[in-house]
Amino acid sequence: MGKRILSAFAGLAAGAALFAGGAHAEESVEVLHWWTAGGEAAALNVLKDQLEEQGVTWQDMPVAGGSGVQAMTVLRSRVTSGNAPTAVQMLGYDIQDWANEGVLADLSDLAAKEKWDDVVPKALQRFAKNSDGQWIAAPVNVHSTNWMWANKKIFDEVGVEGEVKDWDELIAVLDKIKEAGYTPIAYGGQPWQDATVFEAVVLSTGGPEFYKKALNDFDPEALGSDTMKTAFDRMSKLHEYVDPNFSGRDWNLATAMVINGKAAVQFMGDWAKGEFLRADLKPGEDFVCQRFPGTQGTVLFNSDQFVMFQVGEDKRDAQIKLASAVMSPTFQIAFNKVKGSVPARTDVPGDELDACGQKGMKELAAANESNQLFGSLAHGYGAPSAVKNAVFDVVTAHFNGEYTSDEAVKALVEAVSAAQ
Ligand code: BGC
């Protein structure tokens, strides 16, 4: 009885505090994101926990669909109906598109206080600030797309030793794997995944300058070149090594095929590593990470950024807490260890990351130094979404046999020009 009176009294007191002191106990952030795979959700929990420790409640708004295609559609309808979330996971050019609509919050005071200018890589700042130089997003990580993930047991069984250096070696390895009775490539047939593989193939086929000309600058000559035709031919070649059920498969289910030893390799960004880690596998022992053969030395990057929308005064404090938490060095390490990416700050040590993460971090710094760091087209850092989607359409139609390579090259030139 006494206890009940006491707790009723405590409830009253808490209510009074709320009334007198503003919305402190009620602080919350609503966050729209597409991190629904196991490794992704685990990484996001690091952020949720950190905010909850600061008394900020997390209202989760997950929209499944790799690379955020569906999430961006949902976002559009939320903003149109005047109900923008506090923060949204977003990529590159999409951030700039939203900035141009004048609906984003300014984080510049926080950024100045925490010296983001000095620690966030310049390649990311370009996207995290609007045209007036105001900070509108907090970058969580740097991912890279030109990776190959392999099942170590299968590689050992067919005698792969060391790195698979180039395209010819890759084909030789895939043939051996096929002969041994495995599905060589774990493949998810969705447009963004086709494009993720395609950009690595373009880079491997034409080299870094060609990649930049074709998939960052959209030079019509590069797009319509023989080199591009070879890249499409190579996509057709890869098609010979996928299983019959590839169509529509989610990326994490493809990763699971490599984890379970059903397939040997997956060509995918380093978010795939989050799935291997979550399955308790060790890099170098159970799985292999290496650059897509023939792309060593070059890094195709993308970065998940939390874009802040204009919210009412009552939500502003929590929004700033979220942005500050995202940028804190301890969070950047804890999160990226789980996510598979590397920190979006140049001043944090990499020694807590696994071997693949440390390799990724070194390669990112070196590629930045030598100007071999380019935006991933498939993940929003090569072009605004109209052009990106035009490329997706052609690449997917070709991969599914609707175009010959010659037709695909022509269609690519036309589709890009129409979308520009
Ligand atoms: C994002 C990653 C995400 C992946 C799969 C990429 O565009 O940058 O964070 O894990 O898509 O959804």
- The yes-or-no verdict on residue 19 having pLDDT over 90 is no
For residue 357, how far is its CA from the centre of ligand 1 (angstroms)? 16
Are 136 and 149 within one domain? no
Q: What value does the mean pLDDT of the chain take?
A: 94
CA of 144 relative to ligand 1 center, distance in Å: 10
Report how far residue 413's alpha carbon sits from residue 25's, in angstroms, rounded to the nearest whole number: 56
Q: Are both 117 and 68 inside the same structural domain?
A: yes
Helix axes 385-399, 191-215, angle to 10 degrees: 120
Q: For the segment 40-79, what is each residue's pLDDT rounded down to a tens digit?
A: 999 999 999 999 999 999 999 999 999 999 999 999 999 9
Q: Do residue 297 and residue 322 come from a single domain?
A: no
Residue 231 is part of a domain; what is its CATH number? 3.40.190.10
The answer to whether residue 8 sits within a structural domain is no
Atom of ligand 1 nearest to the CA of 303: 8
Per the model's pLDDT, the better-predicted residue between 241 and 15 turns out to be 241
The verdict on 63 and 163 lying in the same domain is no
What pLDDT was estimated at residue 24?
52
* Same-domain check for residues 218 and 329: no
**What is the reported pLDDT for 26?**
79
pLDDT tens column, 391-419: 999 999 999 999 999 999 999 999 999 99
Given 359, 388, 405, which residue is the final one in a domain? 359
Asked if residue 270 and residue 308 are part of one domain, the reply reads no
23: confidence class by pLDDT, cuts 50, 70, 90: very low
CA of 389 to the centre of ligand 1 (A): 16
Residue nearest to atom 10 of ligand 1 (CA): 271
To test the pocket of ligand 1, the residue of 33, 34, 89, 277 to mutate (highest count of ligand atoms within 8 Å of its CB) is 34
Residues 415 and 270 placed together within one structural domain of the fold: yes
Position 25 pLDDT exceeds 60 = no
In a domain, 209, yes or no: yes
The number of residues making up the chain comes to: 420
40 belongs to a structural domain: yes
- pLDDT, one tens digit per residue, over 167-225 is 999 999 999 999 999 999 999 999 999 999 999 999 999 999 999 999 999 999 999 99
* 41 backbone φψ class: left, alpha, beta (φ>0; ψ -120 to 50): alpha
pLDDT at 21: 42
Q: Are 171 and 273 in a shared domain?
A: yes
Q: How far is CA 10 from CA 18, 53, 170, 302, in A?
A: 12, 21, 67, 49
Tell me the pTM: 0.94
Hey, how many other C-beta atoms are within 10 angstroms of the C-beta on 344? 26
What mean pLDDT comes out for the span 376-394? 98
Q: Which residues make beta-bridge pairs with 151?
A: 287
215: Cβ contacts below 8 Å, ≥ 6 apart: 199, 202, 374, 377, 382, 383, 391
Domains of the chain: total: 2
68 inside domain: yes
Closest residue to atom 1 of ligand 1, CA basis = 67
| 250/292 same-domain check | yes
Q: Are residues 351 and 401 in the same domain?
A: no
Residue 260 lies in a domain: yes
Provide the percentage of residues in the chain whose pLDDT is more than 90: 94
Q: How confident is the model at residue 13 (pLDDT cuts 50, 70, 90)?
A: very low
269 and 387 both lie in a single domain: yes
Residue 360: pLDDT over 90: yes
**Is residue 17 very low, low, confident or very high in pLDDT (cuts 50, 70, 90)?**
very low
Question: d(Cα 54, Cα 320) in Å, to the nearest integer?
Answer: 12
Residue 10 lies in a domain: no
Q: Which domain holds residue 64?
A: 29-143+302-359
Same domain, 129 and 231: no
Q: What is the mean pLDDT of residues 314-329?
A: 97
Residues with CB under 6 A from ligand 1: 34, 40, 66-68, 91, 143, 251, 271, 302, 304, 379
